[in-house]
Structure 1
Amino acid sequence: MIWLAANLVVTTLLTGTLFVPEVQYGLVLVLIVGATVLGGAVLVLIGAIGTRTGLPTMALARGPFGTRGSLLTVAVNIMILMGWSWVQAMLAGISLDYIVSSFTGVSNPVVFAVVCQTIVVILAIFGHSNVARVEPWFAAVILGIAAYIFVVAFTTFTPAEFAAIPTPAEPYYSPSLVFDVVLATAISWTVLSADFNRFAKTTRAGVIGSGIGYTLSTIIAMTLGATAIGYVVLRGGEAVAFDPVTIIEPFGPLFAVAIFLSVMATNTMVVYGMVTTVVNSLPGRRIRFLPTAIILGVISIIGATFFGLLDQFTVFLVTIGALFAPVFAIMIVDYYLIRRGSYDRDILSSKPGRYWYTGGVNLIAVGSWAVGATVAYLYTYVWPLPFSATLLAFVVTAVLYFVLSLSRRSKDGFAPAINLADASDAR
């Protein structure tokens, strides 16, 4: 239910509005399902490491990247989560602005975004555990609204009419870019997968719960967005992508209220995730929660005023895929293939040990990451491919890291790691 609730949020829904009428409706649905299942597999594999070791995602990065090298992934993770918090605060502000202006005529989306993010920061500091409890109820509400929108859309227009929506002569989105954006959504959630799944009772339960929850919520939310914008087009309206008002107006203010509440709940967990990442970034050193939360919270509130980020949302998502798909390729290969499903207690230590490598940095991992990110960038923007550049970067990084790591192991006599006997020690 936590994973089902996490992605039943307006950002995922509005991501679906980017794809129609740029790409044919039927093909969009196929791409959403395929990329979600593939991205969900990455999320589940990282989450399972969290369950087996008791460690959050960025702490696990110490295994392949080194005690100090993992700080590089921590920095990128904080930037990505900060970007998500800004985007979601803006969308909550736009939804709240729509509600208030409908009754009072007062309109100022920037002010309302600041108000929303301030509430989020307060909840992240004092009420994050309660939000985790009520978020599944928000999921139930969103599912009810989704059912209502699907009924309205498909009783007004037939599936054949949706499939026949004409595409523009020079679309911005290609099928490969749609696939990459959907895949990047899964990658962006994977940064928190072990954070949540480390508390699963068993690995099997975590795999089933996160796998079903994530794939269902993403497919439903993105399909809902694509259907809602298709409904707007078929009614003769203008397809303004990634604008909550465009899909709120045909379905009423209740939809705006649901969007506002879902964003507030999910964004609270995003801000809490940022703070958790920083607090757990340095083994053996205590970083206090409250000062960290206040500093990051203030930055997130200020950033919520930069509404120009909404126009760059596609670039933001593709950048996430380019930066973090190689990271997770390395983490998966390192744990499941190189280490054969084990990390020892050195991963909890700040002192030189098994995961110290060269000055605390595994140069093979950092180099493989750099190659993967470069591949993703080049084949997205310089030489666009007819298939997923993010997937190509993932595969190239995984193969490169595996081959180089095996070469080093045969040269240096790499010993197998010892299981963390008790996950509670790592927690």
Structure 2
Amino acid sequence: MALYHRLDRRLEEQADNAGPVRGTLSLGRIAMIWLAANLVVTTLLTGTLLLPAVDFATALTMIVLGTVCGAVVLTLVGNIGTRTGLPTMALTRGAFGTRGSLLPVAANVVILMGWSWVQAMLAGVTVNYLVEDLTGFSSPILFSVLCQTVVVLIAILGHEGIARVEPWLAVLMLVIIAWIFVIAFTEFSPAAFQDIPVDASIGYTAVTVLDIVIATAISWTVLSADFNRLARSSRAGIVGSGVGYTLSTVTAMTLGVTAIGYVILSNGEAVAFDPAAIVAPFGAPLAIVIFLSVMATNSMVVYGMTTSVVNAPVGARLRYLPTALVLGLISILGSTWLGLLTQFTDFLTVIGALFVPVFAIMIVDYYLVKRSAYDADLLRGRGGRYWYTGGVNWIAVAAWAIGAVASYVLAYVWPSPVGATIPAFALTFVLYLSAMLPRRAARADSVHLADVRDA
């Protein structure tokens, strides 16, 4: 118990509790955190969905274009965190209202919990493949639980622990990834990868691939302010996260495309979104990348869930450690549900439908309606500038609902030739801007909310 109380006090002193944080991390440290975060197994395996759905060059082009588009949204939302000191879901109070923000917060926790389960399972399946190959022992559920337990221990240390661990994981993963690229392109030329026949029966187009890549970026934007609020300046946050995220996403997805292409060229069984299919030809090095990526990424996911929950009740105070322990336990138990892996693409679509409109609204509200300035009322539990009608901005809620429905319809009911993500974002952006522009705030000085709180 003494250890628990000491750790609890330490975490509270680090300000991972409900309130703004004054960032101290440099551009390089932010870049390394984001670099490690998205060198992740789910991003890698998303790359395996793209070939032979489209040709190799088209896949790489759409990966770069979609990543850059997604990074714009990610850095814009992350910069609000740097300028205010608050995590992403706490910032939704500005647009949705003090009480209305609980809607995206609840959706965020559910989505992040799902992410933690999927990634723990993929790590467990990968470790199980190696162990079974060496010893004959097989228990993917056991290894999923063990992997997620390590993740929770890292996340319990809060942002300090993650900031220390992530850079080293990133360096190690990049070294191994470089080795895998050398192996792949030494045995087969880029022209051989380009000559892999396109399988039209998969039903993907270049635009479909672009939509998938952008949706991946959107899935990470839910944590953008959580980590960019730790940056010591807007430049450090924007450039660091932009470079780190873009480099890691392009690298991970390209690795996935290359790995599945290598399997095809080697006359192996190319099963998309199956870690065992690509670990088999590359062996332990790729398995190590997958394992380390889960350690790096899932620690951020559990941390992000925890900060979302502790920052949800304005005016109340939830302690970081017990919240992290409860959510961590749920994430460990959920990692035993291996059946979720078969629903990953549907899961990604749900993320896009729920959060593409949220981030369109947040960007409009902060940069255009509130003129790049949130004030101390964002920390109030009742009343003030962000109380709207009974604590809810019904305009934001309505725009969110319309955007989410549009995203679903364009993905499943009437598939759009330009995908669902970009149209849903544009529709929500225009709707919210049109409705809120008459209420545009007078220009005010931007202040960091940690300074206001401490004043």
Q: TM-score, normalised by structure 2?
A: 0.90
Determine which of 213, 218, 229 is the counterpart of 1:198. Answer: 229
SS in 2 for 1:250: helix
Residue among 113, 121, 134 paired with 1:82: 113
Query: For residues 426 and 336 of structure 2, what CA distance do their matches in structure 1 show?
Result: 38
8 Å CA contact 1:56–1:192 kept in 2: the answer is yes
CA distance in 1: counterparts of 2:453 and 2:401, whole angstroms? 29
* Candidates 72, 97, 105, aligned match of 1:41: 72
Q: Which residue of 1 aligns with 2:137?
A: 106
| SS across alignment from 1:267 | helix
Structure 1 CA distance for aligned equivalents of residues 201 and 385 of structure 2: 53
Runs of 4+ in 1 over 6 A off after TM superposition: none
Matches within 5 A, 1:42-61: 42-61=73-92
The alpha-carbon deviation at position 373 of structure 1 amounts to 0.7
How many Å separate the matches in 2 of 1:86 and 1:351?
Answer: 35
CA contact (8 A) 2:155 2:161 kept: no
Q: Distance in 2 between matches of 1:424 and 1:86?
A: 37
- Equivalent pair of 2:173/2:292 in contact (CA under 8 Å): no
Aligned to 2:296: 265
2:57 maps to which of 13, 23, 26: 26
Contact 1:343 1:418 in 2 (8 A): no
Equivalent of 1:168 in 176, 199, 211: 199
Partners of 2:406 and 2:284 in 1: CA distance: 44
Tell me, in whole angstroms, the C-alpha distance in 2 between the residues paired with 1:154 and 1:305. 37
Match of 1:278 in 2: 309
Cα displacement (A) at 1:104:
1.6
Among 106, 114, 118, which residue is 2:149 paired with? 118
The aligned residue for residue 41 of structure 2 is 10
Correspondence 1:139 to 2:166? no
What RMSD in Å do the two structures reach over aligned CA positions?
Answer: 1.6
Q: Which residue of 2 aligns with 1:380?
A: 411
Change (3 A) 1:105 1:308: same
Q: Give the whole-Å Cα distance in 2 for the aligned partners of 1:426 and 1:375.
A: 39
Alpha-carbon shift at residue 238 of structure 1 (Å)? 1.3
Note the alpha carbon deviations across 1:262-306, whole angstroms, 9 max, x for none: 212221121111111100111110112233222212221121111
Structure 1 gaps, min length 5: none
- Offset of residue 420 of structure 1: 2.6
Provide the C-alpha distance between the structure 1 equivalents of 2:170 and 2:203, rounded to a whole number of angstroms.
32
Distance 1:336 1:313 in 2: 33
Partner Cα distance (2:453, 2:135) in 1: 53
**What secondary structure sits across from 1:85 in the alignment?**
helix
> Which residue is 2:211 aligned to?
180
Partners of 1:22 and 1:220 in 2: CA distance: 19
1:339-380 per-position Cα deviation (integer Å, ceiling 9, x unaligned): 111111100100111100111000000000111111111111
**Separation of aligned partners in 2, 1:426 and 1:232:** 56
> Counterparts of 1:8 and 1:85 in 2: how far apart (Å)?
15
CA distance in structure 2 between the aligned counterparts of 1:422 and 1:344, rounded to whole angstroms: 7
Distance (Å, rounded) in 2 between the aligned partners of 1:257 and 1:422: 41
Residues 88-107 of structure 1: per-residue CA shift (max 9 Å, x gap): 10011012212322322100
Q: 1:367 aligns with which of 384, 387, 398?
A: 398
With over 3 angstroms needed to count, the CA separation of the structure-2 counterparts of 1:235 and 1:307, relative to structure 1, is same
Q: 2:447 aligns with which of 417, 420, 423?
A: 420
**CA distance 1:426–1:333, shift in 2 (3 Å):** farther
1:327 aligns to what SS in structure 2? Answer: helix
TM-score, normalising length: structure 1: 0.95
The residue number in structure 2 matching 1:346 is 377
Q: Deviations over 1:33-85 (max 9, x none)?
A: 11100000000001111111111111110000000000001011101110110
Work out whether residues 177 and 289 of structure 2, in 8 Å CA contact, stay in contact via their aligned partners in 1.
no
Cα deviation digits, residues 245-271 of structure 1 (max 9, x gap): 111111121321232122122211211
- Are the aligned partners of 1:9 and 1:221 in contact in 2 as well (CA < 8 Å)? yes
Query: Partner residue of 2:326?
Result: 295
CA distance 1:257–1:404, shift in 2 (3 Å)? same
Of 60-69 and 111-120, the range deviating more from structure 2: 111-120
Q: Is the 8 A contact 2:177 2:286 kept in 1?
A: no
SS in structure 2 of the partner of residue 343 of structure 1: coil
Secondary structure of 2:202's aligned partner:
coil
Deviation at 1:114?
A: 1.4
Counterparts in 2 of 1:324 and 1:127: CA distance versus 1, 3 Å = closer
Partners of 2:334 and 2:95 lie apart in 1 by 32
Report if the CA contact (8 A) 2:375-2:449 is conserved.
Answer: no
Report what 1:210 is aligned to.
241
Give distance in 1, aligned partners of 2:301 and 2:403.
Answer: 26
For 1:380 and 1:95, the matched residues in 2 are separated by: 31
Distance 1:158 1:147, change over 3 A: same
Q: 1:128 touches 1:268 (CA, 8 Å); kept in 2?
A: no
Aligned amino acid, residue 250 of structure 2: I
Unaligned runs of 5+ in 2: 1-31
Specify the SS of the correspondent of 1:360: coil
Paired positions, count: 423
Separation in 2 of the partners of 1:73 and 1:126? 26
